[in-house]
Amino acid sequence: MMRKGTTFTRFIIEEQRRIPNTTGEFTLLLSAIVTACKEISDGVNRGQLINVLGSADTENVQGETQKKLDIISNEIMLKALEWGGHLSGMASEEMEDVYPIPARFPKGKYLVVFDPLDGSSNTEINVSIGTIFSILRCPEGITNPTEADFLQPGTQQVCAGYVLYGPATNLVLTTGQGVNGFTLDQDIGEFILTNPKLKIPTAAKEFAINMSNQRYWEPAIKRYIDELIAGDDGPREKNFNTRWIASMVAEVHRILMRGGIFLYPKDGRENVHKGRLRLLYEANPMSFIIEQAGGAASTGRGRILSVVPDSLHQRIPVIIGAKEEVERVEQYHREMDATLGEQAVPHRQMEPTT
Ligand code: AFP
């Protein structure tokens, strides 16, 4: 039986043809990332059967306990991408320092940053997780990039994407010309274009925030969430539903499909007072995708994509999703800062999050 649909391979080659004088380097890099994600998908899928679930009893640079699958996924990405000649370096949420391309391989003009397995606390309970990646240009003349070469604002991203390992495996991607979604056809091992030109539905009905942290929130966040919870009895005069998957990839995917807003604001906890999510590996790629789908992404006090990173593992507040909602949260921050000042919530000493 003939299958219908555009394969990912065809899609990227046709995209490449639209741009005159391209070398194909970017297309091959993207293809290598996607192959790595298929391998991770297989590991996630067979997890318990091949004994790769559970803790690795090690900590990453963020002080978070690593899962076996975090380490395996990181290794899969490194090995799949280091040899192709498209990259000069990589950085990962799971590694303290920049990963240089081994001397035996040629180097290329791009840098890749990634979170190999985001939401990995969900691996044992068979809930959706994902890989997030972002492609940057290596600065001109640099062949051995250092941390400074990766500290580019999100507006400089050449491409951002994620692969969601859920009931189906989805690839969602932007190169700055809109957002396209693909679904892995397990029988033929190819991603098929299933969601071309994704746009976020504008009327938000769902919000996602970890409610257990509400006692640490700044007043602007508390005000916004209180109004959503008040539903049709409150100033919004409509009901909202709540969701929290603890997996940003799954939350962003839901927003792309159904609309809504996701918030991981900074809060009063000592280790979250600058935010919880990582600018390079999570916030920037997701913000690029969400903006390209017609949404907005903010720290509450400014556009995430405009932030110039100060370190590889910088954390940042993330408020992302339907534009009108994100703008409302920004407005509440402006009003709060005008009366209370930015450090409205005192920092408190807390146990590190896992
Ligand atoms: P892990 O990859 O360590 O599981 O973190 C996932 C994540 O970065 C993001 O995907 C979630 O939205 C968020 O953290 C969940 O954080 P909480 O556990 O504090 O709710």
Q: Which tens digit of pLDDT belongs to each residue from 125-136? A: 999 999 999 999
The finding on whether 126 has its CB within 6 A of some atom of ligand 1 is: no
Question: How remote is the CA of residue 314 from the centroid of ligand 1, in Å?
Answer: 15
pLDDT bracket for residue 199 (50, 70, 90): very high
**247 C-alpha vs ligand 1 centroid, how far in Å?**
6
Rounded to the nearest angstrom, the gap between the alpha carbon of residue 126 and the centroid of all alpha carbons in its chain is 20
Q: Which residue type occupies 34?
A: V
Does 351 score more than 70 pLDDT? Answer: no
Q: Does the pLDDT at position 158 exceed 70?
A: yes
Q: What is the pLDDT of residue 53?
A: 83
Ligand 1 atom nearest to CA at 70: 2
- If you take atom 1 of ligand 1, which residue's CA is the nearest one? 119
Q: Which atom of ligand 1 is nearest to the CA of 120?
A: 4
Q: Which fold has domain 8-195?
A: Fructose-1,6-Bisphosphatase; Chain A, domain 1 (3.30.540)
Bigger pLDDT: 118 vs 48: 118
- Tell whether ligand 1 has an atom less than 6 A from the beta carbon of residue 124: no
Query: Which residue's alpha carbon is nearest to atom 7 within ligand 1?
Result: 119
Average pLDDT score, the chain: 93
- In this prediction, residue 63 carries a pLDDT of 77
Give the whole-angstrom CA distance, residue 266 versus residue 255. Answer: 21
Distances (CA, A) of 178 to 86, 174, 292: 24, 6, 5
Ligand 1 in reach of 337 Cβ (< 6 A): no
φ and ψ of 212, to 5 deg: -65, -15
List the beta bridge partners of residue 155.
Answer: none
For the Cβ of 74 lying below 6 angstroms from any atom of ligand 1, the answer is no
Classify domain 206-340 by CATH number: 3.40.190.80
Pocket test for ligand 1, best of 62, 122, 264 (most atoms within 8 A of CB): 264
Give ranges for CATH 3.30.540.10 in the chain. Answer: 8-195
167 has a pLDDT exceeding 90: yes
How do residues 230-258 score in pLDDT, each as one tens digit? 999 999 999 999 999 999 999 999 999 99
Residue 62 Cβ inside 6 Å of ligand 1? The answer reads: no
Q: How confident is the model at residue 346 (pLDDT cuts 50, 70, 90)?
A: low
Enumerate the β-bridge partners of residue 230. Answer: none
Q: Which pLDDT does position 234 carry in this prediction?
A: 97
- Of ligand 1's listed atoms, the one at least distance from the Cα of 282 is 8
pLDDT of 97 reads 97
**What separation in Å is there between the alpha carbon of 118 and the centre of ligand 1?**
7
Expressed in angstroms and rounded, the spacing between residue 246 Cα and the centre of ligand 1 is: 5
Q: Where is pLDDT greater, at 342 or 344?
A: 342
Residue 65 token pair: 């306990």
209 phi/psi in degrees, rounded to 5: -155, 150
CA 282 to centroid of ligand 1, rounded, Å? 10
Q: What is the pTM of this model?
A: 0.94
- Report DSSP state, residue 283: I
Q: Ligand 1 pocket, 277 CB below 6 A?
A: yes
Q: Which of the listed residues 68, 131, 248 should we mutate to test ligand 1's pocket, taking the one with most ligand atoms within 8 A of CB?
A: 248
What is the percent of the chain where pLDDT is above 70?
Answer: 95
Residue ranges, CATH 3.40.190.80, the chain: 206-340
